[in-house]
Structure 1
Amino acid sequence: MRDLHFKTKTHQAWAGIVSTVDRGNFVFVHIRSSKTGKELNNYKLPADLAEQVEKIKSYSALVAYAKANQITDSASDAHRGSDSSSVPSCPAPALTPAKSSEQERGILFVEVDTVGRGKDTEIIEISVVDNTENVLFHSRVRPSKPYKDVPMGEPSFAEIWQGLSNAIGRADIAFYNADFTKRYILQSIAKAFDTPKPEHFYTLFPYNKVICVGERYKEFNNYRLGYFCNYGLQHINSACGQSGLFWKDVSNSPSGNAIKSARLWKYLDHKAVA
Structure 2
Amino acid sequence: MFKQVALITGGATGIGKAVALKLVAQGVNVVMSGRRAEVGAVALAEVSAAARDGAQVRFVQNDVADETAVKTMIDGIVAEFGRLDMAVNNAGLSNETGTLLESSSDNYRAMVDTNIMGVYFSMKHELAQMVKQGNGAIVNLASIAGLNGIAWAGPYSSTKHAVVGLTKSSALDHATQGIRVNGVAPGAIKTDIIAAQLEGGDPNYDETSISAMHPMNRLGRPEEVANAISWLLSDEASFVTGHILNVDGGFQAK
TM-score w.r.t. the length of structure 1 is: 0.24
The structure carrying a bigger strand percent of its residues is: 1
With the length of structure 2 as denominator, give the TM-score of the two structures. 0.26
Higher relative contact order (CA 8 A, sep 6+): 2
Tell me which protein shows more helix as a share of its residues.
Answer: 2
Bigger CA radius of gyration: 1
